Amino acid sequence: MPKSFFYFDEKKIYFEQDMSVAAALLCAGVTDFRQTQVLHKPRGPFCMMGACFDCLLVIDGMVNQQGCMRLAKEGIKVKRQTSNALSEIN
């Protein structure tokens, strides 16, 4: 069965059924998902259960989406969340 994919910063990320967005990104070698607001430091998943909020991403144009709590779906568009993500909303 062929793997599905979604786009992360315009790159195809392949995933298996029932994987979270965060798990798929980690499997693809992506470790920094967002920047902190003040110091602009990179952050990535820590707890993988929705408690720490270090896996925040922009998913299909919606900011502050927890990658560990969202199932990966074919064709979604995921972006790294920068410190000025709220100003990037279309």
* pLDDT tens track, the chain, 90 positions: 568 999 999 999 999 999 999 999 999 999 999 988 889 899 999 999 999 999 999 999 999 999 999 999 999 999 999 877 655 555
pLDDT at 87: 57
Q: Could you give the C-alpha distances from 29 to 8, 20, 21, 46, 86, in angstroms and in order? A: 12, 14, 13, 15, 26
Range of the domain at 25: 4-84
CATH number of the domain that residue 64 is part of: 3.10.20.440
Say if 90 falls within a structural domain: no
Total-model pTM: 0.88
Say if 10 falls within a structural domain: yes
Spatial separation of the C-alpha atoms in residues 15 and 3, rounded to whole Å: 6
Q: Which residues are CB-contacts of 11 (< 8 A; sequence separation ≥ 6)?
A: none
pLDDT at 1: 58
pLDDT at 86: 59
pLDDT at 82: 87
Say if 28 falls within a structural domain: yes
Say if 79 falls within a structural domain: yes
pLDDT at 85: 66
Question: Which contiguous run of DSSP H or E holds residue 26?
Answer: helix 21-27
